[in-house]
Chain A
Amino acid sequence: MRGAAILLGAGCVVWATAPPVHRGYADFALFLAILGVAAGALRLVLAAVPVPEENYLLPLPLQLCLRFLEVLRLVPWEEGALIAVLWLEVLHRARPWHTAFLGAALIAYLLATHLAESGASPDALRPQVRVLAVGAGLLALGAGAGMVPAVGPGAGSALLRLVAAGALIAAAGLVLPYVAAPGPPPGGGRWPERQ
């Protein structure tokens, strides 16, 4: 799962960068995206390294290593990478299906990262399948809305499309309590009764 998360993160960066653009601090955004994904991957790889409670008497190089590990675990690298990747994508001209694929890959990246850092199996995501399916539908609708040509030129029609997309998300939110009804725990089961 750790490998999947790293590959998905790298794939998102490449997908959002291609083709390269050189405006609007694109290079800086690319640097941030690569840094976020790389540091997040390093954090996942070093997740099992223990940190001693007392490090006062440890040699300086070891103390520096522990300090680096602490920073690595403290900073929200993935969030930074997400913002940078979206920034890179928005620098390109409108390409709705490309953006929709990026959105799907970003959600997969976040889920894989969560599974890798929590050590859970993919079965843990089973209760979320229906909601993710609804989300995928909205993603496709959003991409479709982006492809619909504007009725007339100007900002008004674009705003209208945005309002439509927002209404769609709100409608999906209203049906959520029915879609996400609580079910049996994943891989759970009852504790055996005492005889």
Chain B
Amino acid sequence: MSSSTDQNDRLLRVPGHELELHWRSSRHARRLLTLGVAGVFIALLARRPEFAGVAAPALLLLGAGRVQRRPSRISVRVRPSATRAFEGELVALDVRAEGQGDSHVRWTLHPGTDIDPGEVTAADGPQARFTFTPERWGRRQIGTMDVVLRDRWRLAEGHLTVTLPKLDCYPAPADQRTRVVLRRLPNRLGEHPARTSGEGIEFFGVREYVPGDRQRSINWPASTRRGRLQVNTFAAERSQDVVLLADATSDVGVPGSSALDLALRGAAAAARAYLEGRDRVGVITYQWGGVSWLGPGLGRRQLYRIIDSMLASDSGYARGASFRRLPRAALPPGALVVVFSPLLDQRFVESLRDMRERGFHMLVVDVLNAEPPVRRRREDRMARRIWQMEQEAIRFSLRELGVPVVHWDGVQSLDLPLAAHTRRPLAGRR
């Protein structure tokens, strides 16, 4: 009960839209008119008064309906429970009409593209709640709402259509719990154990006691064995810069699980995993004609900034920009670059080689899950074979440069393909 009252209160705060109604006869009225006119007509032609009696109830209902007053305008309030949602997340939409008098209100939801309305798309009453699920990432129109007012006699219908607000649908992050950590970490406090002693909690080694060391760190068994005081040392804890590189140049495959879908979901998962590990995470979106970027940052808000940046890559967009021209803020030296790409664009692959030659530590997550169709013609089969060999050659050349390439199908957890690189620190060749 209280939640319903809260919902009403929230809805009341939304400004209402005064909308004009277009009244017209209902189908019911037209049928009654047909029966009435046909009955009177037959009664007159056939001189049979019982047909006038058949027409009488219909004509009376039509006459009674003329007495009613109908509002020419009503106020409609629309409030979605969220303006941002992840793919597959349930979103509620509250609607309410005011000024309809004693008319009966019927709402019909017409969902937009890639919006799943669920089972209920129509509701009655002055207020209603619909639920829907955005199925694919993007800035989506929820749809339109048809409002039909029926008078008490249900003989006239007032129609209006309300355009529903837009919804920012974020790609649903894939499952990723483990993180790839570089062997050499910048001298910045974090959560990853570094290869130097410091103030962390992971055991690093034993050394001889020097004045100033804390007594609680003395290793008594080692001191007894060696005859001199020995102290435990611990690994320093550092953070790293991670730059996610999303390749938006190619979108192949079935919509919903295409290469771009997987790239964005994988990048969102990686951003969440590294931000939870107190790393600074940034993103670079590579697309036709340029590169858009967001510098590395910390915190939960950065996750939404990253996803926003990937969705609306117009911000910070520089036509004709390349990786060479990106400022240090976008691509800091020594950063770990995690690439999500189907590796179909040769220029993008060349850019990866270029970055590797400039000394960046990189890891490529291959999100290509589509192949050219299998056809009978010999030329087609040969072209397909050549295409496959080209793809293998691209991946081989990257591995030869010291860039690990792992394949991800978008279904399983990202931890599985990355397992070989999350067990030990990533040491890229210089």
Contact = CB atoms under 8 A, between A and B. Distances in A.
Given A142-B51, A158-B47, A184-B102, A124 B154 contact: yes
A191 interface: yes
Interface in A76-93: 76, 78-79, 82-83, 86, 90
B74 interface: no
Contacts of B52: 142, 145, 162, 165-166, 169
B interface, by DSSP: helix, strand, loop or mixed? helix
A107 B57 contact: yes
A103 B32 CA distance: 12
B60 to A, nearest CB: 5
Interface residues of A, number: 66
Interface in B155-208: none
A127 B69 CA distance: 15
Interface in A92-123: 94, 96, 99-100, 102-104, 106-107, 110-111, 113-114, 117-120
Contacts of A184: 102
Interface in B13-59: 26-28, 30-32, 34-35, 38-39, 42-44, 46-59
A159 B64 contact: no
Contacts of B98: 191
Interface of A: 50, 53, 76, 78-79, 82-83, 86, 90, 94, 96, 99-100, 102-104, 106-107, 110-111, 113-114, 117-120, 124, 127-128, 131-132, 134-136, 138-143, 145-146, 155, 158-159, 161-162, 164-166, 168-169, 172-173, 176-177, 179-180, 182, 184-186, 188, 191-192, 194
Given A99-B50, A182-B68, 11 more contacts: A79-B31, A82-B38, A83-B38, A86-B39, A103-B57, A131-B57, A139-B57, A161-B47, A161-B49, A162-B47, A173-B59
Interface of B: 5, 8-9, 12, 26-28, 30-32, 34-35, 38-39, 42-44, 46-61, 63-64, 67-69, 98, 102-104, 106, 110, 121-122, 124, 126-127, 150, 152-154
